[in-house]
Amino acid sequence: MADPLREPCVNATQAFLRKDYVQCLLDIEKALESTHEGLDTSLEQLLVLRFTVVSTISAHAAVRARVTKALHHAEDVHAHKLEHMLNMGPNSLFTQLWYECLYALARGPAPETLPTSIALTPVAEQVLLRIPTPVLTSAILMALQMDTLANAAAPTSARSQIARQTCECFFSAVVQADDIHHDAEKYERILRLYTIQVLGLYLGEWDYAYGFVEYSTLPSPTKLDVLNALSTAQENEKHKVEREIEVLRHAQQQYESEKSRRSAATPQDTPSKQMAPVPLAKPNETVARPTVQRTPSIRGRPASLTAEPSPSPLSHADQRKHLQQYLQRRPRPEPTVSPVQSRSTWWSLFLSHITHERALSAILLLVVALLFRSSSGRHGSKSPSWLAIIKQRLLDTIRM
């Protein structure tokens, strides 16, 4: 047999894990319309998920406002009901979810008007004996959170005890039932939750919690175990309160010490020290002008501050260029050549002017002379005297 609640339960769980609380609530409401067709396991998971998601939404005001606004603009038929339910107070919200849970487990339609307080109604007495333990545990934990929210909303009023009323309804149903319908495991778990979390940690009624365990129907070993757990929780709570008191006392001591240190500080150390007023000069009194320290002139400054920066060293190419310009600008004496000038004087004059711009022409003429001399040696003495001609041309070139 296929379970019609299986798929809606999976979809609602996935939406809750994605934190899509609007879709999760809508899937749960659609699934609860056909509770008479589903299996108990899927129905149990849906009810636990419903308590969990509503508790999560109610714990944060911003999340609650966002979900309510999204439901207001939703077009689903269940959106208006969910929006109205989330706008209820903490106690009214839990009361409605509690009775809708009981009627869903009873496999019957819920009436239009539900009770406004937690009480042992006929339907509750019938269902509480067979309600699954996870569903009842989730309901009690949500009731504890609703009590905390109600106390925060009205701190001057009496403490909300809706979680205590829910647990007492269960124990009343157990007492009125036969031992055959009594689930010992569920009874022990709810008793631990009631005595430790509700009576002890929330309400602080530790003596009543010890007495309730003593008069319970638990076996002796189990009863002793519950009493030890209750004693451990009380000791931890006592130490927690003592640690909080110690922290507050230490903070108060530090505050008083800092206050005393600041009050005993000298006026020079205080930042509120004001500057003394400058006395005004009389009409006939000469006002002393402030001395202005002038900067010394350039003559009084060190030589290192007034010296011009030394030029940067020239490169080899710049030095060569400057040397060529100097050689071109210097005056050149006019050479005088006599007919009786010796051969050594002629060669020294030629070497002194070798750097002239016509040095290349002289070298070419010398090469030509050497060539003609070699040719004249081969052809004999009949050739003309080319050496005399070349020498005359060299002299003409030097004079130019």
- DSSP secondary structure letter of residue 195: I
Quick one: DSSP state of residue 60? -
Exposure string over 239-251, b if 16+ CB within 10 A, otherwise e: eeeeeeeeeeeee
Alpha carbons 28 and 384: distance in angstroms, whole number:
135
In a domain, 50, yes or no: yes
CB 3 within 8 A of CB 43: no
Cβ contacts of residue 397 below 8 Å, gap of 6+?
A: 358, 361, 362, 365
pLDDT at 133: 93
In a domain, 103, yes or no: no
Identify whether 35 is part of a domain: yes
Say if 74 falls within a structural domain: yes
Q: Return the structure tokens found at 290.
A: 């402030």
Number of compact structural domains in the chain:
1
Reading the block at residue 288, the tokens are: 């002393």
pLDDT of residue 306: 47
Question: Does the residue 313 lie in any domain?
Answer: no
Owning domain of residue 12: 1-87
Q: What token pair was written down for 95?
A: 């009361």
HSE (side-chain half, CA atoms, 13 Å) at 171 = 20
Each residue's pLDDT tens digit in the chain (400 positions)?
577 788 888 999 999 999 999 999 999 998 888 766 667 888 899 999 999 999 999 999 999 999 999 999 988 888 999 999 999 999 999 999 999 999 989 887 778 788 889 998 888 888 988 899 999 999 999 999 999 999 988 877 788 899 999 999 999 998 887 655 668 899 999 999 999 999 999 999 999 999 999 998 889 999 999 999 999 999 988 888 778 888 888 888 888 888 888 888 865 554 554 555 555 555 555 555 555 555 554 455 554 444 444 555 666 667 667 667 766 665 555 555 444 445 555 565 555 555 555 566 667 667 766 766 666 555 554 445 656 666 676 667 666 5
Q: Is residue 26 part of a domain?
A: yes
Amino acid at 208: Y
SS3 label, residue 50: helix
Q: Is residue 393 part of a domain?
A: no
Helix axes 61-73, 40-59, angle to 10 degrees: 110
